[in-house]
A and B are shown apart, each in its own frame.
Chain A
Amino acid sequence: MERVPILKIGNILLVSIQVDMSDQTAVALQEDLAERIVATGCHGVIIDITALDIVDSFVGRMLSTIASISRVLDAETVVVGMRPAVAITLVELGLSLNGIRTALNVERGMELIAIDRADDDHDDPDDDLVPEPTASP
């Protein structure tokens, strides 16, 4: 069985899914990620699905589960790079990917996580940022 590699970049874990995943691979990724979040103490997870030509309900559920697990582990998950055809298909399929944050590309995903951490950190004594309502993208 193939395993999806997880890269650590700064304070962020980056998962770039490059293969047509079998369901087992998807489940394994879910488990691996949870372990890596705890082991590294990262606060952000970016899942890049640019290379995925389909997302079915199983992969959709995996993404939702990963987002929920990482939230419990105090990390924010952003899914990036969804192709237009995949998005259109997901809408037709009726899958809304509730609770998952998305961004157009890795760069924007990192920005999203950075903004989030900034909001989280506003109670730090050395941070003079005024709390603002979050604009959900």
Chain B
Amino acid sequence: MTSGVDLGRPQTQSVGSDEDVVRVRQLVRTVAVAVRLSLVDQTKVVTAASELARNTLVYGGGGTVEVTAIDNGRRPGIRIVFADSGPGIADLDLALTDGYTTGGGLGLGLSGARRLVDEFDVQTAPGQGTRITITKWSR
């Protein structure tokens, strides 16, 4: 992961229901506006957050989302961490393939979200939960 100085305190939102996914979207939108992402980039990062927060809820059995405004010295950005203590992902490469799903969705959540952000990092192991970190920089 790249280094970055945290601008503000990280904001945490627990994800335990549908409504929480909506709250995550709103929180991400607020921070994305604060770090001056362009409208298209705001839309991209909020959409990615929506996909990943839903994954946290559906596959991870709930968890937390942490949103932080960051700055790497040259430009500001937003970093979001999705953490759950669910079953984890057994085959990450497969999970990142377009169209692969175990939950009856479109199979675009993980792979699609990765295309919408600048940095994408997954830490997972079977039985160890999943921790996904995404970063989007302002242009």
Contacts and interface: CB of A to CB of B under 8 A. Distances in A.
Q: Touch between A and B in complex, CB under 8 Å? A: yes
Interface of A: 20-24, 53-58, 60-61, 83-86, 88-89, 92-95
Nearest to A26: B18
Contacts of A85: 39-40, 42-43
A88 B105 contact: no
Given A20-B26, A92-B115, A53 B43 contact: yes
Looking at A57, A61, A83, A92, the one whose CB has the most chain B CB atoms below 10 A away is A57
Interface string B3-35: 000000000000000110110011001000000
Contact of B112 (A57, A61, A83): A57
B18 A57 contact: no
Interface string B79-110: 00000000000000000001000000110110
B135 interface: no
A88 B106 contact: no
Contact of B40 (A24, A88, A95): A88
Chain B facing A: main interface SS: helix
Contacts of B65: none
B124 interface: no
Interface stretch (B45-53, B68-76, B126-134): B45-53
6 cross-chain pairs, A with B, having the tightest CB-CB distances, nearest first: A93-B112, A85-B43, A22-B18, A56-B50, A85-B40, A57-B108
Nearest to B52: A56
A19 to B, nearest CB: 9
A58 B53 CA distance: 12
Contacts of A54: 25, 43, 46-47, 50
A11 to B, nearest CB: 32
B54 A58 contact: yes
B111 interface: yes
Contacts of A53: 29, 43, 46
B105 A20 contact: no
B105 A57 contact: yes
20 contacts: A22-B19, A22-B21, A22-B22, A54-B47, A55-B47, A56-B47, A56-B54, A57-B105, A57-B108, A57-B109, A58-B54, A84-B40, A85-B39, A85-B42, A86-B43, A88-B44, A89-B40, A89-B44, A94-B98, A94-B112
